[in-house]
Structure 1
Amino acid sequence: MSKNIHIIGSGFSAISASCYLAKQGYNVTVFEKNSTLGGRARQYKQDGFLFDIGPTWYWMPDVFERFFADFGKKPSDYYHLERLEPGYQVYFEENSSITIPGTLEEIFQIFEDEEKGSSKHLKTFLDSAKANYEIAVLDMVYKPGISPLELVSKQTIARVSQFFSTIRKQVRKKIKSHKLIQILEFPVLFLGAKPSNTPAFYNFMNYADFGLGTWHPVGGMHKVVEGMVELAKSLGVHFEVNAAVDKIITDKNKIVTALMVNGKEIKSELVLSGADYHHTETLLDKNLRQYSEEYWSKKTFAPSSLLFYVGFNKKLKNVEHHTLFFDTDFDVHAKDIYDNPRWPDEPLFYASFPSITDASFAPDGKEAATFLIPLAPGLEDTEELRELYFNKIMTRLERLTNQDVKKSVIFRKSFCVNDFVEEYNSYKGNAYGLANTLFQTAFLRPKIKSSKVNNLYFTGQLTVPGPGVPPALISGKIASDLIIKKQH
C-alpha cells in the first residue's frame, strides 16, 4: 500500500480529500501554487476592508455538517454560522424587487402576493424538490461516477422522467409570473448551466434555497477553509504554499514516480489532483492524457466571471447581504454565455454586501461589496472592457436602488478571465467548472481515477459530482474513498 500521497492544489475538494486520507493513516502533503490556501476561496484585504475572492454563498449546511461529523467534529468547532434573514433580494426594474425571507411560510405568502394561487404550486414543487434532495444528497452525489448503474434505484426509476425534462419546463408549467419564474430558475445557475438545459431532477437546489436557507460564516467563506485546514493539520496533513507543480513524471509502466515542484524533483507514490483537470493532464506526456483538446472544447463549461471588489465610503441603502439584479433579459444574457459566446450588452449581475451582516468586512460607516457578472469562458479580457462594465453596473445600481454610489467608491479591484487562468490554471478561465447538463452528469463526467496512469486521481469541479462548494467537499470524499479502496 502506498503510504505517501501528494495532492496538487488546496481548494475545498483537495482539503476534504486530505482529511479523509490522513485519517486512514496516509502521509499527505498538499502543494499549493499560490501564497495562501483555499484555491478559489481566498480573501482580499485592503484599507480595513475584507472580501471573499471566490464563493460567497453558504448553502446546503447539512453537507458541511456531514463532512465534519466524519471526524467527530461540528462546523461550530471551527466557525460561527448565522442564518441570513432575509436570504436575498432580487431587483427586476425600478421600484420593483422581491425579498426572499427566511421561513417557508413567509416565502409562500410572498409568492401568493405576487401571483394568486402560486403558493399552492410552490408547495407541490418544493415537496418534489425535498424528496429529490434527500435522494441526491444523501446517496447519489456520493457515488464515484464509474458506472451508469450508480444512478439506478427504485427512487430514480420512479423519477426517470425528471432526467429528461428540464427545470425550465417544470417551473413554467404552473407559475406564470415572470418574477417568480426567475426566482425559481435562479438556484440552478449554481450548477453552471441554463435552466433549459438542466434536468428537472435538479430542482433539489430550490429546496436548498427555500428549505435549508442561506447562511453566512462570520468572517467570510475563508473561515470554512481555515477550519478545514486546522482539521487537516490536526490529522497530520502537511501544506506547502508557493509550490507550483510543473510536471508529473511517470515510468515506462505508466506509474507516477515523481512530481516537479518549483523545478525540483520530489519522489511520489500516489498523486491526487485538486487542480484544474485539463491543466493537470497537460503536466503529463501527451500519450498519457485521457482527454484530448477536442474533447474539452466540446464540453459545456460553467461561466467565467467578471468580479469587482469595491470599498465604499458610506453605508448603502436598499440592498441586502445578497442582492441579484435581474432587470435585463436573462435569456439574452444566457445566449451570450452558452450559445454565442460574447460580452453581453446588458448583463444580469449579482452583488454581495457582507458588511451589512458582518462588521469584520468593512470599517465603521463604510461598505464592502463584491459584484459578479457571469461571462462565457475564453472571452477577450482587457482593462478597457472591465472599466466599461464597471460603469454599466454602477449606473444600474444607482438607478435601481435610488442612490448615488459612484462618487462613494474608495477603491476597486477586478478579477476576470485572465486572472482565473493565471491564478488557478482554469480552462478558458472558467469560474465554476463543468456544467451539470444531462450529458455531463455522474458517470458522463471526467473520471476520478486516470485510465492511463495507474496511481493518478482527480477531484474537484470538473469531475463528480460537479460545481459548487458542497459538491467539492463531497468530491474530496469520493476521491479519497476510491484511493483507499484501490490501495487495500
Structure 2
Amino acid sequence: MRKTIQIIGSGFSSLAAACYLAKQGNEVTIYEKNSTIGGRARQFKKDGFTFDMGPSWYWMPDVFERFFQDFNKKPSDYYELIKLNPAYRVYFGINDFISIYDNLEEIKYTFETIEKGSGQKLQNFIDHAKSNYDIAIKDLVYRPGISPLELITKETALKLNQFFKNVSADIRKNFKNERLIQILEFPVLFLGAKPTKTPSFYNFMNYADFGLGTWHPKTGMFDVVRGIEKLALELGVTIKTNSPIEKIIVENKTAKGVVINGEIIKADIVLSGADYQHSETLLEKEHRMYSEKYWENRIFAPSSLLFFVGFDKKIENVSHHALFFDVDFNQHAVDIYDNPKWPEAPLFYANFPSKTDKTAAPDGMESGFFLIPLAPGIEDTETLREEYFEKIITRFEQLTQQKIKNNIIFKRTFCKNDFVTDYNAYKGNAYGMANTLLQTAFLRPKLKSKKVKNLFFTGQLTVPGPGVPPALISGKLAAELIQKSLRS
C-alpha cells in the first residue's frame, strides 16, 4: 500500500533512503532547510571558482556501484570518475613529501625505498586489510545495528581479537619509520577517532586507500549529489528546499507529520536525515530516546576549520590532494580528543580540484580548499580563523617553496559556528560520531525510534557511521526498516 513519507534533510543518507522508498512505491518528499541540496556535501561557486563544501575524497567505489545497482543503474549513468595519480601527497618538510600512487606495486616500492623490508610487510598488511574489508563492507555494514548478534558470524569470530586491539599498535608492530606509520594511520581519521582508539578491525580503511584507490568525480563530489538527485527524481521523489522543520508531530506515540513554516504537513512515516541530536529536539522530551547527558558523553568526530580560496595563478609543487604532516601528529590528536583546544601547530589538508577539473577555476587560476581538524564545541571567532589561516598558508608557502598570499582573489571561511547554523550539527561536529569500540554497530543511536512509532533516523550519527559510503548504506538500512514496519 502506497504510504506518504517525509524525509528531513537532503544529505547523502536522505537522498539514498528517498530512492529506495520511492522504488517501493511510496510517495516521498524531502525537505531541506537550506536553499540547495546535499547537506554537508553542498557546492559553493564564486567568481568562476567551484568548491565542494564538504566531502572531497571518493573512496570505496564498490559501495557507490552497489547503490546504483540496486536500481539497475551504474554510477557512469550519472557521473564520470577519474582515478587520481598520485592519489595524494603527504608533506613532512620543505620539498620533502611522499607521493601515494594509484597502484599497490608502486606504493610498495615507495615504502621499500624508505624502510628496507617494508614493501613485503605492506603487502601482507593490505592482504589482511582486504580480508577485513570483504567482511565489513560487503556484509557487516549492511546490517541495521539492532542486535549484537549481527556481528557474530563465522568470519568475525576468527577476528574477534581485532576489536580489542587498536590500529596504531598493529601498524607500529610492522613498521618503524614514523613517516610510513603516519601515512598508514591517516585513513582511519575518516572514522573520526584517534588511531590508538580505533579497533584493529578498521584497518580495512587501508585497503580502501591503497587497494581501491582515490577517485574524483569529473567536476567534483557534487556530481554524485546531482546524480542521486536525478535518480530520485526519476523515481518520483519530490524535493523542497528552504523548508526548515520546526516540529515533528506525534499523536498517540505515533509520528504523524511535520511542521514547516507554521504549516502542518501530514505523513504516514517521518524519516530524519538531519543531525540526530537536533532531530530529537524537534520532539517533546518524553518522545526523545537520548538525553542531553547521553550526547555529552559520546565521542564525536572532529569539527573543521575550512577555507575556500581563489588564486589568480596556478599553484606549483602540489597534487590534487595534499596532507601536511610537518608538525606533531600525536599532539594535534591530543588537542582534538584529550584536551580540546585550538592546536598550536595544526596538521592540515589542502585540496586543489582545479588540478584535475579545469572547470573548477578560470584559466590560469587555481581553486584551493584547506581544512584543519578541530575539537567540536570549542570557541570559534573570526580572529581565530584568520590567525590559523595565516599559520597554515605561511607553512604551505615554506613547504612547497612558493609565494601565494598575494595571489588570493577571495577567501571564504567555514567553521564550528557555521556547522551549527547550516546543519544543526551537535557542537559543530563535521563528521558525526566516532567509530570507537563502544560506538560501533548496535551501540550507535538507533535507526528506528523505540518511543515513537513510524519515526526513523538515518545519517552519520547512526548506523553504520561517518563518511559518504556509510551514509548511502545508512539510507538503505533505514528504508529497509521502514518497509519492514509497513508490512508488519
- Name the TM tier (shorter chain): over 0.9
Q: 2:344 & 2:103 partners in 1: Cα distance? A: 36
Q: For residue 320 of structure 1, what is the amino acid of its counterpart?
A: S
Matched, 1:370 2:374: no
Q: Which residue of 2 aligns with 1:261?
A: 260
Q: 1:359 & 1:79 partners in 2: Cα distance? A: 16
For the 8 Å contact 1:40–1:55, the answer to whether it is kept is yes
Q: 2:209 & 2:264 partners in 1: Cα distance? A: 47
**How far did 1:370 drift?**
0.2
For the 8 Å contact 2:320–2:353, the answer to whether it is kept is yes
Q: Which residue of 2 aligns with 1:160?
A: 160
RMSD: 0.7
Q: 1:186 & 1:412 partners in 2: Cα distance? A: 27
**How far did 1:279 drift?**
0.2
Q: For residue 395 of structure 1, what is the amino acid of its counterpart?
A: T
Matched, 1:74 2:74: yes
Q: Which residue of 1 aligns with 2:335?
A: 336
For the 8 Å contact 2:90–2:98, the answer to whether it is kept is yes
Q: For residue 120 of structure 1, what is the amino acid of its counterpart?
A: Q
**How far did 1:263 drift?**
1.5
Q: For residue 280 of structure 2, what is the amino acid of its counterpart?
A: E
For the 8 Å contact 1:313–1:367, the answer to whether it is kept is yes
1:373-427 Cα shifts (integer Å, max 9, x gaps): 0000011111000000000000000000000011111110000000000000000
For the 8 Å contact 2:147–2:442, the answer to whether it is kept is yes
**How far did 1:267 drift?**
1.1
- How many residues are treated as equivalent by the alignment? 487
- Partner of 1:271: helix, strand, or coil? strand
For the 8 Å contact 2:257–2:270, the answer to whether it is kept is no
- Partner of 1:58: helix, strand, or coil? coil
Q: Which residue of 2 aligns with 1:415?
A: 414
Q: For residue 90 of structure 1, what is the amino acid of its counterpart?
A: V
1:105-164 Cα shifts (integer Å, max 9, x gaps): 100000000100011111111011001000001100000000000000011000001110
Matched, 1:136 2:136: yes
- Partner of 1:210: helix, strand, or coil? helix
1:259-317 Cα shifts (integer Å, max 9, x gaps): 10111111121100000000000000001110000000000000000000000111011
Q: Which residue of 1 aligns with 2:401?
A: 402
Q: 2:320 & 2:281 partners in 1: Cα distance? A: 40
**How far did 1:103 drift?**
1.0
Q: For residue 108 of structure 2, what is the amino acid of its counterpart?
A: F
For the 8 Å contact 2:256–2:270, the answer to whether it is kept is no
Q: For residue 4 of structure 1, what is the amino acid of its counterpart?
A: T
Q: 1:243 & 1:97 partners in 2: Cα distance? A: 46
Q: 2:187 & 2:30 partners in 1: Cα distance? A: 32
Matched, 1:451 2:450: yes
Q: For residue 212 of structure 2, what is the amino acid of its counterpart?
A: L
Matched, 1:233 2:225: no
**How far did 1:36 drift?**
0.5
Q: Which residue of 2 aligns with 1:175?
A: 175
For the 8 Å contact 1:2–1:269, the answer to whether it is kept is no
Q: For residue 91 of structure 1, what is the amino acid of its counterpart?
A: Y
For the 8 Å contact 1:91–1:327, the answer to whether it is kept is yes
For the 8 Å contact 1:91–1:97, the answer to whether it is kept is yes
Q: Which residue of 1 aligns with 2:433?
A: 434
Alignment of 1:164-243 (within 5 A): 164-243=164-243
Q: Which residue of 2 aligns with 1:49?
A: 49
Q: For residue 213 of structure 1, what is the amino acid of its counterpart?
A: G
Q: For residue 350 of structure 2, what is the amino acid of its counterpart?
A: A
- Partner of 2:461: helix, strand, or coil? coil
**How far did 1:2 drift?**
6.4
Q: 1:353 & 1:52 partners in 2: Cα distance? A: 11
Q: 1:369 & 1:95 partners in 2: Cα distance? A: 19
Q: 1:92 & 1:482 partners in 2: Cα distance? A: 47
Q: 1:263 & 1:213 partners in 2: Cα distance? A: 47
Q: 1:441 & 1:289 partners in 2: Cα distance? A: 21
- Partner of 1:307: helix, strand, or coil? strand
Q: For residue 477 of structure 1, what is the amino acid of its counterpart?
A: K
**How far did 1:486 drift?**
1.3
**How far did 1:344 drift?**
0.4
Q: Which residue of 1 aligns with 2:479?
A: 480
Matched, 1:390 2:389: yes
Q: 2:424 & 2:95 partners in 1: Cα distance? A: 42
**How far did 1:95 drift?**
2.8
Q: 1:343 & 1:474 partners in 2: Cα distance? A: 33
For the 8 Å contact 1:246–1:260, the answer to whether it is kept is yes
Q: For residue 255 of structure 2, what is the amino acid of its counterpart?
A: V
| Identical counterparts, % of pairs | 65
Q: 1:292 & 1:257 partners in 2: Cα distance? A: 23
Q: For residue 31 of structure 1, what is the amino acid of its counterpart?
A: Y
- Partner of 1:236: helix, strand, or coil? coil
Q: 2:455 & 2:256 partners in 1: Cα distance? A: 10
- Partner of 1:72: helix, strand, or coil? coil
1:299-357 Cα shifts (integer Å, max 9, x gaps): 00000000000001110111000000000001100011001110000000000001011
Q: For residue 463 of structure 2, what is the amino acid of its counterpart?
A: V
Q: 2:445 & 2:106 partners in 1: Cα distance? A: 41
Q: 2:248 & 2:380 partners in 1: Cα distance? A: 30
Q: For residue 340 of structure 2, what is the amino acid of its counterpart?
A: P
- Partner of 1:40: helix, strand, or coil? helix
Alignment of 1:458-469 (within 5 A): 458-469=457-468
- Partner of 1:305: helix, strand, or coil? strand
Structure 1 stretch displaced more, 258-267 or 167-176:
258-267
Q: For residue 143 of structure 2, what is the amino acid of its counterpart?
A: K
**Off by >3 Å, runs of 4+ in structure 1:** none
Q: Which residue of 2 aligns with 1:358?
A: 357
For the 8 Å contact 1:2–1:487, the answer to whether it is kept is no
For the 8 Å contact 2:334–2:340, the answer to whether it is kept is yes
- Partner of 2:39: helix, strand, or coil? coil
Alignment of 1:98-113 (within 5 A): 98-113=98-113
Q: For residue 378 of structure 1, what is the amino acid of its counterpart?
A: G
Matched, 1:425 2:405: no
- Partner of 1:316: helix, strand, or coil? coil
- Partner of 1:138: helix, strand, or coil? coil
Q: 1:85 & 1:331 partners in 2: Cα distance? A: 28
For the 8 Å contact 2:448–2:457, the answer to whether it is kept is yes
Q: Which residue of 2 aligns with 1:40?
A: 40
- Partner of 1:351: helix, strand, or coil? strand
For the 8 Å contact 1:80–1:217, the answer to whether it is kept is yes
Q: 2:162 & 2:394 partners in 1: Cα distance? A: 41
What is the TM-score when the length of structure 1 is the normalising length? Answer: 0.99
Q: 1:464 & 1:10 partners in 2: Cα distance? A: 17
**How far did 1:454 drift?**
0.6
- Partner of 1:173: helix, strand, or coil? helix
Q: Which residue of 1 aligns with 2:469?
A: 470
**How far did 1:258 drift?**
2.4
For the 8 Å contact 2:254–2:453, the answer to whether it is kept is yes
